[in-house]
Every structure is written in C-alpha cells, then in structure tokens.
Structure 1
Amino acid sequence: MESAANKPSDRTVLVVDDEEDIRELYALILEKLGYTTLLSSTSDEAIRLYRHSLESGTPINIVILDLNIPADRGGKEIATILRELDPQARLIVSSGDTTAVEMTHYAEHGFNGALEKTFDRENIKRTLEQTLA
C-alpha cells in the first residue's frame, strides 16, 4: 500500500516550455494522473518558482524541462541552475527531437528522465514514477 506522501495528489510537477499548447497539454495529462501542476514559459520564472518552493517548504517534486527554448535558457542550462539550488532536484528533459543526445543519454546531461513530446499518458506516468522512485 502506498503511503499518503507517495500519492500523485501530494506531488507537484513544474512544466517549463515556451509553447502554451505544450504546457497546457502536459497540465491536462498530469492533473488527470493526480499531480498538482505549475506552468512556466521562461527560465527566469521557472527558477523563481523552484527557489520559492524551496524557501516555502512546499516542494516541487519534478520539473519537466523543454530542451530548446528559443531566445531563453534551454532545459540543460535551467537544469544546471536548479541542481545548484537543490542537488536532489528531479529533472526530466522533454523534446520532440528524440535523437538529441540529451534525450538518448539524459543521465549524462544531468536529467533523471526523458519524455518525448508524444504525450502518451502511460509513458508520462511511467517516467514520473521512475523519476520519483
């Protein structure tokens, strides 16, 4: 039996993507899976939200980071900053480019998992569970 602290409803996921439709699609799926979601379109906002979560004691359990954010820091750069704030941060890279080295070798690039932007609900669920394990 799961403890209450391990249920998705007690978990918060921050989605960082420059495309509103992508953020909203992730939010829809994550909320149906029972997660609380926060959405960010910029690196500065994402870093601010994560820093606030640490200061307030209300953790962000997982951050899903778009690999490429035009005219802003990309997922890899944001991940580096979040790791400096919290070495235990759980970070998932997300991209439509499944051949990107950060997707195929995500652990070597500071990520705990990778999500292809196919929005397969079961794959998202499995990746989140593996990242939280």
Structure 2
Amino acid sequence: MATRQAIDSSHKRALIMDDELSIRQVLGEMLRLSGYHCSEAIEGAEAVALFRKAVAEGRPFDVVIMDLGVPEGLGGAEAVQQLLAIDPAARVIVTSGSATDPVVEEYHRYGFSGALRKPFRFTELQQLIGVN
C-alpha cells in the first residue's frame, strides 16, 4: 500500500514506483532532500491510481519515477502509457538495473521524459529533475 505524507504547497510532489522497499526509501530521501514531498507505489496499477487521484484533486505530481521491471504487477513501460493517457504532459522518468534494456536506451520512444540506470548518483537524479 502506498504511503503519503502531509502536503505543503511550497514543495513539489513526486511519485515513486518500485517494488523494492529499499529503493523507494533511498529514492524518497533523495527527492525529499531536493525539496519534494513523495508518495510511493509498489507497482504500476497502484501508481496509476495515485496519479489519477492527484490529477482529479488538482494536485498533480511534478515528476513520476518508475521502475521498469516489476515481477508482480504492472511495470513502468506499461504504466507510463496509462499515465500519459490521463495527462499527456506528465513528466515520467524510468529506472532500471538493466544495462542494455531498449526502453532505457530509447526512453522517449516509450513516453518517458528521462532515464536513470541503477545504481545512480544523487547528482544524476538532481540533474535529471532540474535541481542543482
């Protein structure tokens, strides 16, 4: 189940989707240090539901970061299409531990705004989301 923190309108909002708790925790901390409030999802269908609710409430996420491969549930490549159907301007970044995955190599063709290979550095994330 996703967790949600209190929202402060002065902060940006991020949605993290990854099946590994440790990745969600580390990525969440990186984003919080960069000024984001974070919501989390374990798999794509949960992320899509959180995204849809945020858009309906008029509080869309500024960035969504999705793991490409999720063993049980909807992965990033499938979920991004649903997010873009809800909001074509959604900013969605794909993450993957695979060094040669074509989705990561050609992320734009799949609807993603950017890609991060795991493991990635804090500075790589900040550069991709526009935080210095």
* TM-score of the pair, normalised by structure 2: 0.87
Q: Which residue of 1 aligns with 2:101?
A: 100
Structure 2: how far apart are the matches of 1:37 and 1:29? 10
Whole-angstrom distance in 2 between the partners of 1:67 and 1:44: 13
User: How many residues in Structure 1 have an aligned counterpart in Structure 2?
Assistant: 122
Deviations 1:94-132 (A, max 9, x none): 0111311111111111100001122301000001119xx
**1:48 CA displacement:** 1.1
State the alpha-carbon separation in 1 of the partners of residues 21 and 38 from structure 2.
Answer: 14
CA distance in 2, matches of 1:74, 1:42: 6
Q: Shift in Å at residue 32 of structure 1?
A: 1.0
Q: Is the 8 A contact 1:26 1:119 kept in 2?
A: no
CA shift digits 1:73-105 (9 cap, x unpaired): 110100000011111111100011131111111
Equivalent position of 1:27 in the other structure = 28
Q: State the distance in 2 between where 1:71 and 1:40 align.
A: 13
CA distance in 2, matches of 1:30, 1:95: 17
User: 4+ residue runs of structure 1 moved beyond 4 angstroms?
Assistant: none
> 1:86 is matched by which residue type in structure 2?
D
1:52 is the counterpart of 2:53: yes
The alignment partner of 1:76 has SS state of: helix
In the aligned structure 2, how far is the partner of 1:57 from the partner of 1:39?
18
User: Are the counterparts in 1 of residues 48 and 83 from structure 2 also a CA contact under 8 Å?
Assistant: yes
1:83 is aligned to 84
- State the AA in 2 paired with 1:43: G
Name the SS for the 1:38 alignment partner. Answer: strand
Which string of whole-angstrom CA distances, capped at 9 and with x for unpartnered residues, describes residues 13-58 of structure 1?
Answer: 1000011111001001111111111111022211111011111011
Distance in 2 (alpha carbons) for counterparts of 1:44 and 1:73: 6
- d(CA) in 1 for partners of 2:72 and 2:31? 27
Q: Are the aligned partners of 2:94 and 2:104 in contact in 1 as well (CA < 8 Å)?
A: yes
Separation (CA, whole Å) in 1 of partners of 2:116 and 2:130: 13
Give the 3-state SS of the residue equivalent to 1:103 in structure 2: helix
Tell me the amino acid that sits aligned with residue 74 of structure 2: R
Structure 1 unaligned runs (5+)? 1-8
**RMSD in angstroms over aligned alpha carbons?**
1.3
Q: Please identify which structure carries the higher helix content.
A: 1
- Between 1:121-130 and 1:89-98, the stretch displaced more is 121-130
